[in-house]
Structure 1
Amino acid sequence: MNNIATNTYGKIGPNSIIQTVAALKERYGDSKTAEFLVNIGRSDLTEKLPAEMVDEQQFNELVRSIQSCFGDKELTQLLRRSGELTAAYLLKHRIPVPVQWILGILPVRSGLKMLLAAIEKNAWTFVGTGEYSFTIEKNPKIMIERCVSCRGMSAGEPICAFYEGTFQTLIRTIIDDRAVVTEKTCSAAGAAACVYEIRLSV
């Protein structure tokens, strides 16, 4: 297992909110999304989306509101789409194409290890005061302790599909186009950490 990445600032990237709002608009349209945001006290998001780092609790509260209004199954679908959109943004604006190409031509496990290590260096931007770690041996996994998207929440099944969607899209695009990332355990369901299993095609 690699070193754990920690952060004490309690800030995460704005895409957590930007892309979740985008996922809501895709699914429900602008009008219903605006109505939902007004009802949960976030009318500001109907006027201007954040452009800088945001308090991690803002994302947690948005997730809680979606869960309360739409239920767990709809929450996971919305968050998975939000994660996919976040990954698309990262691939376009944050991970240089030459780097993506180099990682892609390496042996799959070597490329995956380098990608997850690179993610680790900036993990605080998406786990906030949580902790990110990963393992490559035998069955590759990503672990997030004190996960922002479900911290303090309860659910009967894993609900942190935001990270599931982000990791799977990044790995499929750069490393293995048939890889599958599945959240196997979730803090909201009583586990010690949210654990994402990475199944490779080779």
Structure 2
Amino acid sequence: MGQAATIGPNAVIQLVPALTRKGFDGMAPQVFAGAGVTGWLADPPAAMVDERLAAGLHRALRAGLPPGQASLVLAEAGRLTADYLLAARIPGPAQAILKLLPASLSASLLVGAIRAHAWTFAGSGRFSARGGPPLLLEIRNNPLCAGEHAPAPVCSWHAAVFRRLFEVLVSHDVRVDETGCEACGDPACRFSIDWS
């Protein structure tokens, strides 16, 4: 059996503070146990994690809460993930330059950086982007919704990561919508990003 693809630990560790901030801190043990990763509560991962375990955790969260509440928690975790990236992974000088540039150029440069690091949030999935606005980002074979079946898009974690990065680095007036989701039977998870 080959080695499993991995995804960044923020897909996991930001769920605990997100649950707390949304008033569901008592749910963390149940959600982590449901995914078979109880050990991550006491010893959160600090390195890349098996994407299947991260996906199981997202699935357990969606199963443990009503859809609207699960979406809010996952969106908060995505926002916290982006805040971590802004604080620890995107150099301050690069952020300052992006904020000074015209939005279309800033967005193009940000997408280039996102593309270069897609393996950290898309795992074995395939990331692509088309220019805009609206800018269209796509993840095919998105591991975080693999095997899911839902009447509405479920990738609020990814959408929130993108939203926060674009609102801080490109335009405060950004709108991010998940316009397609593999959980709904679409061929890919698609995100429309508009700042016009």
Question: Into which bin does the TM-score normalised by the smaller protein fall?
Answer: over 0.9
TM-score (norm 1): 0.90
Q: Distance in 1 between matches of 2:102 and 2:176?
A: 19
1:42 to 1:123, Cα distance in 2 relative to 1, 3 A: same
The aligned amino acid for 1:176 is S
**What is the aligned partner in structure 1 of residue 179 from structure 2?**
184
- Percent identical pairs in the alignment equals 32
Q: Distance in 1 between matches of 2:170 and 2:133?
A: 17
Aligned partners of 2:115 and 2:128 also within 8 Å: yes
Q: Distance in 2 between matches of 1:139 and 1:29?
A: 34
The aligned amino acid for 2:69 is E
**1:101-116, aligned counterparts within 5 Å?**
101-116=96-111
**What is the aligned partner in structure 1 of residue 80 from structure 2?**
85
Q: Deviations over 1:81-132 (max 9, x none)?
A: 1100000000000001110111111111111011011110111111000011
Structure 1 position 26 matched with structure 2 position 21: yes
Q: Which moved more, 1:26-35 or 1:190-199?
A: 26-35
Q: CA deviation at 1:43?
A: 2.0
SS of the residue 1:52 aligns to: coil
Structure 1 position 152 matched with structure 2 position 143: no
Count of aligned residue pairs for this structure pair: 194
**What is the aligned partner in structure 2 of residue 127 from structure 1?**
122
Q: CA deviation at 1:39?
A: 4.9
Aligned partners of 1:167 and 1:181 also within 8 Å: yes
Q: Distance in 1 between matches of 2:115 and 2:24?
A: 35
SS of the residue 1:141 aligns to: strand
Q: Which has the higher contact order (CA 8 A, sep 6+)?
A: 1
The aligned amino acid for 1:181 is V
**What is the aligned partner in structure 1 of residue 5 from structure 2?**
10
**Cα root mean square deviation, aligned:** 1.6
Q: Distance in 1 between matches of 2:61 and 2:24?
A: 15
Gapped regions of structure 1 (runs ≥ 5): 1-7
TM-score (norm 2): 0.93
1:57 to 1:9, Cα distance in 2 relative to 1, 3 A: closer
SS of the residue 2:90 aligns to: coil
**What is the aligned partner in structure 2 of residue 69 from structure 1?**
64
